[in-house]
Amino acid sequence: MPNGNFLVLVEDAGDACLVYNVPVAAEEFTSRWKNESVMYNKAGSIVRAYGLRKWDRFEVSAEGFTGTPEVGKSITGVADKKMTVGA
C-alpha cells in the first residue's frame, strides 16, 4: 500500500478475532515514535476484539509479521503477537 502497510484479506477466518487497542506514544515524541514498535498500550486499558469473517480486510505494518508478506502468501498462525507468513 502507498503508506507502507500491507493489506490482509481474510479468506477463512475460522474462529479468529482481531484485537485492537490504540497505541500510545511517549510524551517526549520524536520522529522515532512514528514506528509502531516503540509505541505501547497502557496497562489496564480496554481493548476491542472483532470477530473476523470471510473477506474482511485490515492493514498491518511490516513489524506485525514474522516472515516477508507478499501477494499470494498466507498467514499460517500467530506467535509472539506477530502474524506468521507461510508459503
| 21-57: pLDDT as tens digits | 776 666 666 666 666 666 667 778 888 899 999 999 9
Task: Output the CA–CA distances (angstroms, integers) from residue 60 to 18, 22, 29, 57, 63, in the order listed.
Answer: 11, 14, 22, 10, 8
pTM across the whole model = 0.70
Q: Are 83 and 64 within 8 A, CB to CB?
A: yes
Round to whole Å and give the CA distance between 27 and 11.
Answer: 39
Beta bridge partners of 65: 83
Instruction: With CA atoms as reference, report the closest residue to 34 among 75, 5, 68.
Output: 5
Task: Output the CA–CA distances (angstroms, integers) from residue 8 to 27, 51, 67, in the order listed.
Answer: 31, 15, 14
Confidence of residue 66 (pLDDT cuts 50, 70, 90): very high
Round to whole Å and give the CA distance between 25 and 84.
Answer: 26
All 3 cell numbers of residue 6?
A: 500491507
Write down the domain spans for the chain: 6-62
* pLDDT score at 27: 66
